[in-house]
C-alpha cells in the first residue's frame, strides 16, 4: 500500500460489533500478519473490471484501495474530437444501465448553451423514458446486490421485469441497451401506436411484482442480517465526499435534484405532488448502513412508477423534435447541467468556442464520486462484508472509468 | 439565491481570492466578431487561494456551499497560456449552485490541494493532475487514477501528441 495514512479500526475488539436487535458480536483477538488480498480485476461482485486492494489483519480489514482505469475509454477526449451530435452515442456507454438518463443530461447541457425550447410532448417522452430507465437500473442494482451476498432467486425475477422494460425501449427506439433516443432538441421519434398503453400495462404489473420483491429480498431476514449496521455513512461523511443520489438519501439527507433544482417537467410534477423522496431512517440498524441504501432504491422504483403514470395521464399529441440542423454550431459559452441519474448527480460541463466541436466535454459520473468513499468505509469492516459494501455503493464501472 | 445575490454576499464577506465574475451576454449586433456568451455565470478566483475560498463559502451561514459537486480543468486552446480550473459547488440547505473558475498559468501549473476542505476533491484532483499535468500541493495520494502509472504526457492538453506505441502495443 503506498498510502501513508494509518487507519484506526472502527470496531473495538473488546466492545464487540453491534448487531440488529441490540445484541453484540464478539471477536477473539487473533492478530496475524497483515495480508494483502487483491479483489479483482475480474471479481464478479465488483460489477465490472475493477480491482480493490484490501489489506487484512485476519478477518478485519485495515485498509482498502480501489484501482480504476481498466475500462477507461477516453470519453472526454472523444468529446473534444467529434461533433456535438456525434458524441451522443458515446454518452450511452458510460453508465450503460441508465443510458436514457445520460442522453438526457448531455442533451440538456447542449440545449442550455443553444438556449432552445423543447416541444412539450418531447419533454413528456423524455421524462417517461428517464423514469422507466431508473426503474430498470434500480432493478439491477438491487438484484445484483442480492446476488453478491448470496440471494440468487430475486435476481432472476428482477431480470424478468427489466426484460419487459427493455422490450418497451426496443419498440420505441430500436435498441435494448444503448438507446441514443433522447436527442438535442427533443427525442428521436414519436412513440409507436399502442406503446403508451403497453407502458401502462407494465406499470400495473410492476406494482404487484414490486411488493413481492420487497418482501422477498429487502425485508428478508438473511438480507437484513448481511446489510444492517454495515458500511455506515454518516451525514458529515456523505457531504464531505460529495455523495449524491441514493447514497445521500440513505444517510437521511433530504436532497433530490428533481425536486430541488427542477428541470424538464419536474417543476409541474412537484407542484402536483405526484411523487415523494424516500428517506432512510435506520429502521433495521444504524442510519446510513447498507440496508438503508438498498431500501431507498427499492422505494424510489415505486416513486418512478408514479411519475410515469403522471406522464401517461398528461401526455398530448404534438411535435417531438424541433428543427435541429445535422451539423450544429453551438454559441460560445460554458454550461454545467446536473441531473438526477439513478446513481446520483450526473453532471455535464460543456464548453463551446462557437465551432462544430466541443472545447471541453466533462462528465461528472456519480459512480466515480460515490466510489471514493470506499477507502473510508472499508477499514474496520470484516472481509466478508467487503462485497456487501461495494454492492451497496451501486457502481457501474463504465462510468467510474468513462 | 440567484447568482447576483450569491456574488454580492461573496463580496460583502470578503471571501479570499475573488478576482471578478463573468455573466452570459447577448451578441453585439454592431460588431460581428462579438458573438456574446451563453450558459452559466461564474466567479473568478485566484487558484493559489482556492482552498481558503472554498472553506469560506462552506462555512458561511447564508451561502453554505457544503458539497463540491465537481472539480475539473479545461484547456481552452493551444495558444492560450492558461488552464481553467472549474469547480461546481452545491448548497443542499439553500438550494443554489455556483460555478467557480480559476486561471492557472500553463508554465507553472502548481496550486494548493482542496482535499482538506472537501475530501471529495481527492479523486477529482488526481484525475486533473494526470489529464492536465497540474500539481496539487499537499495532496495525500497523488497517483494516477485512470491512466497507468507509466503513461507519458497529459491526454486532455490540447498540445498532447498521441503515442506511437505502449509496451509494444501499437496505438495507430
Residue A28 domain flag = no
Q: At what angle do helices A290-314 and A386-393 cross, to 10 degrees?
A: 20
Residues of B in contact with A243 (CB under 8 A): 120
Mean pLDDT estimate for chain B? 88
Residue A353: what pLDDT?
A: 87
Tell me which of A111-115, A166-170, B26-30, B88-92 is least confident. B26-30
Residue A41 preceded by cis peptide, ω within 30 = yes
- CA–CA dist A297, A343 (Å, integer): 9
Residue B73: what pLDDT?
A: 92
Q: Which residues of A107-143 are buried (b: 16+ CB within 10 A; e: fewer)?
A: bbbbbbbbeeebbebbbbbbbbbbbbbbbbbbbbbbb
Q: In chain B, whose CA is at the least distance from the CA of A5?
A: B140
Residue A42 domain flag = no
Show pLDDT as tens, one digit a residue, over chain A (402 residues): 444 444 444 444 556 666 767 776 665 555 567 788 888 777 656 677 888 888 888 788 888 888 888 888 888 989 898 989 889 999 988 888 889 999 999 999 999 888 888 898 999 999 999 999 999 999 998 988 888 888 888 889 988 889 999 999 999 988 888 898 998 888 888 889 999 999 999 999 999 999 988 988 888 888 888 888 888 888 888 888 989 989 999 888 988 888 888 888 888 888 888 888 888 888 888 888 889 999 999 999 999 999 999 999 988 888 888 888 878 888 888 999 999 999 999 999 999 988 889 999 999 989 899 888 888 888 888 888 888 888 888 888 888 888
How many angstroms away from the CA of B66 is the closest CA of chain A?
Answer: 7
Beta bridge partners of residue B73, listed in sequence order: B85
CB proximity A102 to B under 8 Å? no
Q: Under an 8 A CB cutoff, do A402 and B156 touch? A: no
Q: Please say whether the beta carbons of A49 and A71 come within 8 A.
A: yes
Q: What ipTM score was computed for the predicted complex, to two decimals? A: 0.90
- CA–CA dist A84, A69 (Å, integer): 25
Instruction: Name the residue facing A359 among B76, B122, B140 (closest C-beta).
Output: B76
Q: Under an 8 A CB cutoff, do B146 and A331 touch? A: no
Residue A9 domain flag = no
Place of cell 449552485: B97
Residue A8 domain flag = no
Residue A32: what pLDDT?
A: 64
Task: Determine how many CB atoms are found less than 10 A away from the CB of residue A199.
Answer: 22
- CA–CA dist B43, A307 (Å, integer): 36
CB proximity A331 to B under 8 Å? yes
Q: Which helix (H) or strand (E) holds A246?
A: helix A246-249
| Average pLDDT for B47-68 | 89
pLDDT digits (tens, 9 = 90+) for B102-120: 999 988 889 999 998 888 8
Residue A31 domain flag = no
Residue A14 domain flag = no
Residue A4: what pLDDT?
A: 41
Which residue range forms the structural domain that includes residue A113? 74-379
CB proximity A78 to B under 8 Å? no
For the cut 90, the answer to whether the pLDDT of residue B87 exceeds it is: yes
Residue A274 domain flag = yes
pTM for the predicted model, two decimal places: 0.87
Q: Under an 8 A CB cutoff, do B67 and A72 touch? A: no
Q: Which residues of B65-85 are buried (b: 16+ CB within 10 A; e: fewer)?
A: bbbbbbbbbbbbeeeeebbbb
| Average pLDDT for B61-86 | 89
Q: How far is CA A203 from CA A170, A297, A309, A312, in A?
A: 17, 17, 8, 10
* Listed residue (A223, A82, A56) closest to A150, CA to CA: A223
Residue A62 domain flag = no
Instruction: Name the residue facing A253 among B74, B92, B148 (closest C-beta).
Output: B92
What cell numbers appear for B123 in the block? 479523486
- CA–CA dist B168, A4 (Å, integer): 34
For the cut 50, the answer to whether the pLDDT of residue B134 exceeds it is: yes
Q: Where are the domains of chain B?
A: 3-24+38-159
Q: What are the DSSP calls for A290-322, one per residue?
A: HHHHHHHHHHHHHHHHHHHHHHHHH-----SB-
Domain count, chain A: 1
**What's the start-to-end Cα distance of chain A, in Å?**
25
CATH number of the CATH domain containing A212: 1.10.645.10
Overall fold of domain B3-24+38-159? Beta Polymerase; domain 2 (3.30.460)
Amino acid at each position: 500500500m503506498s498510502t501513508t495514512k494509518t487507519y484506526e479500526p472502527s470496531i473495538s475488539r473488546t466492545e464487540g460489533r453491534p448487531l440488529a436487535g441490540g445484541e453484540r458480536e464478539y471477536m477473539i483477538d487473533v492478530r496475524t500478519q497483515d495480508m494483502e488480498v487483491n479483489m479483482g480485476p475480474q471479481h464478479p461482485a465488483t460489477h465490472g473490471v475493477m480491482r480493490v486492494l484490501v489489506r487484512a489483519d485476519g478477518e478485519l480489514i485495515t485498509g482498502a484501495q480501489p484501482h480504476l482505469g481498466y475500462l477507461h475509454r477516453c470519453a472526454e477526449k472523444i468529446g473534444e474530437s467529434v461533433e456535438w451530435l456525434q458524441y451522443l452515442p458515446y454518452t450511452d456507454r458510460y453508465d450503460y444501465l441508465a443510458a436514457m438518463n445520460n442522453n438526457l443530461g448531455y442533451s440538456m447541457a447542449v440545449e442550455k448553451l443553444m438556449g432552445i425550447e423543447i416541444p412539450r410532448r418531447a419533454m413528456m417522452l423524455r421524462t417517461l423514458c428517464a423514469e422507466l430507465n431508473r426503474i430498470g437500473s434500480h432493478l439491477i442494482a438491487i438484484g445484483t446486490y442480492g446476488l453478491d451476498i448470496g440471494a440468487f432467486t430475486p435476481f432472476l425475477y428482477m431480470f424478468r421485469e427489466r426484460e419487459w422494460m427493455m422490450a418497451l425501449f426496443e419498440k420505441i427506439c430500436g435498441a435494448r441497451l444503448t438507446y441514443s433516443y433522447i436527442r438535442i432538441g427533443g427525442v428521436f421519434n414519436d412513440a409507436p401506436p399502442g406503446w403508451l398503453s403497453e407502458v401502462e400495462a407494465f406499470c400495473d404489473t410492476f406494482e404487484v411484482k414490486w411488493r413481492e420483491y420487497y418482501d422477498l429480498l429487502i425485508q428478508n431476514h438473511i438480507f437484513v442480517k448481511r446489510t444492517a449496521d454495515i458500511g455506515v455513512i454518516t451525514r458529515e461523511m456523505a457531504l464531505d465526499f460529495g455523495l449524491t443520489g441514493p447514497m445521500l438519501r440513505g444517510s437521511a439527507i433530504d436532497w433530490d435534484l428533481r425536486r430541488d433544482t427542477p428541470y424538464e417537467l419536474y417543476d409541474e410534477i412537484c407542484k402536483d405532488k405526484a411523487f415523494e423522496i424516500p428517506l432512510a431512517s435506520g429502521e433495521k440498524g444504524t442510519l446510513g448502513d447498507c440496508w438503508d441504501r438498498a431500501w431507498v432504491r427499492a422505494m424510489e422504483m415505486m416513486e418512478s412508477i408514479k411519475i410515469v403514470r403522471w406522464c401517461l395521464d398528461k401526455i398530448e399529441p404534438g411535435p417531438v423534435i424541433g428543427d435541429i440542423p445535422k451539423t450544429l454550431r453551438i454559441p460560445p459559452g460554458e454550461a454545467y447541467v446536473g441531473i438526477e441519474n439513478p446513481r446520483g448527480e450526473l453532471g455535464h460541463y460543456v464548453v463551446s468556442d462557437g465551432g462544430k466541436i466541443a472545447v471541453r466535454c466533462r462528465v461528472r459520473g456519480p459512480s466515480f464520486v460515490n466510489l471514493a468513499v470506499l477507502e473510508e468505509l472499508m477499514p474496520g469492516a470484516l472481509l466478508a462484508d467487503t462485497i456487501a459494501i461495494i454492492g451497496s455503493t451501486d457502481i457501474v464501472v463504465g462510468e467510474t472509468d468513462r | 439565491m440567484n447568482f447576483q445575490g450569491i456574488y454580492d454576499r461573496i463580496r460583502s464577506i470578503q471571501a479570499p481570492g475573488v478576482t471578478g465574475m463573468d455573466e452570459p451576454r447577448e451578441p453585439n449586433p454592431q460588431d460581428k466578431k462579438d458573438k456574446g456568451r451563453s450558459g452559466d455565470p461564474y466567479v473568478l478566483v485566484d487558484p493559489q487561494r482556492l482552498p481558503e475560498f472554498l472553506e469560506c463559502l462552506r462555512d458561511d451561514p447564508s451561502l453554505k456551499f457544503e458539497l463540491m459537486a465537481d472539480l475539473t480543468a479545461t484547456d481552452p486552446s493551444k495558444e492560450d497560456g492558461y488552464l481553467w480550473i472549474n469547480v461546481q459547488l452545491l448548497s443542499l440547505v439553500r438550494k443554489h449552485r455556483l460555478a467557480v473558475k480559476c486561471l492557472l498559468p500553463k508554465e507553472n501549473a502548481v496550486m494548493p490541494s482542496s482535499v482538506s476542505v472537501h475530501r471529495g476533491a481527492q479523486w477529482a484532483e488526481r484525475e486533473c493532475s494526470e489529464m492536465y499535468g497540474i500539481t496539487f500541493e499537499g495532496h495525500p495520494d497523488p497517483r494516477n487514477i485512470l491512466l497507468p502509472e507509466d503513461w507519458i504526457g497529459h491526454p486532455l492538453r490540447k498540445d498532447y501528441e498521441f503515442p506511437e506505441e505502449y509496451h509494444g502495443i501499437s496505438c495507430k
